[in-house]
């Protein structure tokens, strides 16, 4: 569902993520591409406009976190705005009421309402160990009652029998009475759908809602309907009390704009998404996780958060200042950077996070790199004298033997480190002008694959 939007937004944001500074021009260009990506994903125009206005307002003049580049900060702003658009936090089902807790399922015909009821029934049973009863009030669709009965057996919950000869409101009364008498914890009520919204349908559902007084009324929405689904949700929301939304068929090639539009248009949270035809294909809707999925940057964003939490910013600023002023990058600086890298999980952690999302660099392989390489390099540098760290050029034969012996490594390892130290100095110079891919490509050869 989110593939197309992910590709467009990832392409747009990767152009700016490594920018050393944000200007009105590069913000303008990126925002234009973000707007286009949202519109192509069928996000409602009013939602797009609000989204873009909020991103602009937060990006221009924003105080940049000292641990991030302005480009990275901009990505976080976009991510946070996506989360706000979709509801900020997950809103789980509210079952805190004297039993039976009644949940009403409403929606148009063909949106997956009956199957969604079964999926959620199974989820409640597994998660909360509740005693559940389900009932169908759909006397209009052929075999609707039979379908729900079959599903009830598959998920192993009780089914309250009804027939097409009964009136929906009477079925509801009987089901509630039975649930109370038999001490059921939860009653799930399936209602009839229509091919289009009509007054008769809305009156019937309204009567069932008034009688049953459900703790939750879930609107089931087909994600493939696009803007039609948004318009339908507005009508339902106007005429009935809706507590949440369930998006179905999100495993399809449908546009993902509906996920961004629903919360804004209805003011109601998306609670679940159906991810396939199996009864286990149901996910709780977590706005933050979905935002990361849409951005295609789950790992990049978590890496940014790790940097914020673990890196000593004073040391980073000192090194940056030295490089800008043209001072030499020495082995003391190199050791500091290794220790900083270890705080966020080591070099392999960084590489895994970055390259998992950077498909353009999949040809670069780090699989043979010794996971303890950073520790061993630190041991070599620690075995050097202060003068040797400042002036690696003085490290010759006898010094190399002493360093190798002191670090528990071989002379060849010391030679390789010194040989490649020139590479790291060249890479540091590229930080101003080169992208992250160039820097990582260079780092690949700095550390020996095996000691």
Please report, in range form, the residues annotated as the binding site: 107-114, 190-194, 248-251
Name all contacts of 202-209 with Cβ < 8 Å and 24+ positions apart: 202/239, 202/240, 204/168, 204/169, 205/104, 205/106, 205/240, 206/239, 206/240, 207/168, 207/169, 208/104, 208/137, 208/168, 208/169, 208/172, 209/104, 209/240, 209/241
Sheet with 186-190: list strands edge to edge: 158-160, 132-136, 186-190, 101-106, 216-222, 244-248, 270-274, 282-284
With contact defined as beta carbons under 8 Å apart, do 218 and 266 qualify? no
Q: Can you read off the two tokens belonging to residue 260?
A: 């961004």
Q: Can you read off the two tokens belonging to residue 169?
A: 């409101």
DSSP state of 18: T
Residues of the binding site for GTP:
107-114, 190-194, 248-251
List the one residue out of 173, 176, 175, 158 whose CA is nearest residue 121: 158
At 155 the three-state DSSP class reads helix
Taking CA atoms, 196 is separated from 164, 173, 235, 416, in Å, by 21, 26, 11, 73
At 99 the three-state DSSP class reads coil
132-136/186-190 β-pairing: parallel
At 291 the three-state DSSP class reads helix
At 445 the three-state DSSP class reads coil
At 163 the three-state DSSP class reads coil
DSSP state of 62: -
Q: What is the spatial distance between Cα 355 and Cα 353, in angstroms, rounded to a whole number?
A: 6
Q: What is the spatial distance between Cα 430 and Cα 28, in angstroms, rounded to a whole number?
A: 26
Distance between start and end Cα atoms, the chain: 46
CA 370 to chain CA centroid, Å, is 31
Taking CA atoms, 180 is separated from 101, 137, 175, 184, 278, in Å, by 10, 18, 9, 6, 31
Angle at 41 between CA 290 and CA 294, to 5 degrees: 20
At 182 the three-state DSSP class reads coil
């Amino acid at each position: 569902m989110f593939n197309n939007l992910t590709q467009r937004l990832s392409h747009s944001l990767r152009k700016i993520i490594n920018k050393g500074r944000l200007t009105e021009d590069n913000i303008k260009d990126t925002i234009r591409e973000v707007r286009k990506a949202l519109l192509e994903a069928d996000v409602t125009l009013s939602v797009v406009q609000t989204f873009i206005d909020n991103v602009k307002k937060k990006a221009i003049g924003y105080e940049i976190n000292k641990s991030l580049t302005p480009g990275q900060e901009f990505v976080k702003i976009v991510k946070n705005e996506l989360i706000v658009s979709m509801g900020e936090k997950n809103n789980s089902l509210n079952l805190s009421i004297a039993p039976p807790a009644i949940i009403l399922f409403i929606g148009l015909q063909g949106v997956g309402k009956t199957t969604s009821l079964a999926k959620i029934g199974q989820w409640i049973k597994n998660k909360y160990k509740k005693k559940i009863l389900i009932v169908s009030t759909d006397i209009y669709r052929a075999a609707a009652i039979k379908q729900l009965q079959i599903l009830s057996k598959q998920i192993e919950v009780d089914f309250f029998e009804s027939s097409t000869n009964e009136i929906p409101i009477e079925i509801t009364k009987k089901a509630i009475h039975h649930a109370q008498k038999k001490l059921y914890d939860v009653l799930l009520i399936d209602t009839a759908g229509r091919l289009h919204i009509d007054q008769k349908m809305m009156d019937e559902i309204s009567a069932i809602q008034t009688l049953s007084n459900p703790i939750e009324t879930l609107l089931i929405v087909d994600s493939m309907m696009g803007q039609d689904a948004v318009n339908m949700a507005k009508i339902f929301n106007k005429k009935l009390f809706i507590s949440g939304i369930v998006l179905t068929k999100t495993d399809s090639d449908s546009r993902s704009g509906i996920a961004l539009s629903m919360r804004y248009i209805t003011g109601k949270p998306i609670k679940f998404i159906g991810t396939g035809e199996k009864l286990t294909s149901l996910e709780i809707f977590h706005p933050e996780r979905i935002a990361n999925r849409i951005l295609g940057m789950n790992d990049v964003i978590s890496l940014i958060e790790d940097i914020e939490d673990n890196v000593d910013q004073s040391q980073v600023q000192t090194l940056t200042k030295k490089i800008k002023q043209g001072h030499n990058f020495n082995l003391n600086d190199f050791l500091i950077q290794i220790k900083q890298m270890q705080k966020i999980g080591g070099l392999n952690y960084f590489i895994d996070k970055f390259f998992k999302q950077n498909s353009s660099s999949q040809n670069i392989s780090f699989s043979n790199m010794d996971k303890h390489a950073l520790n061993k390099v630190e041991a070599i540098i620690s075995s050097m004298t202060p003068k040797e760290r400042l002036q690696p050029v003085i490290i010759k034969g006898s010094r190399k033997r002493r360093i190798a012996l002191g670090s528990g490594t071989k002379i060849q390892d010391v030679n390789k480190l010194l040989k490649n130290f020139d590479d790291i100095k060249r890479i540091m110079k590229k930080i101003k002008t080169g992208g992250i891919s160039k820097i990582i490509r260079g780092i690949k050869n700095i550390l020996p694959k095996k000691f």
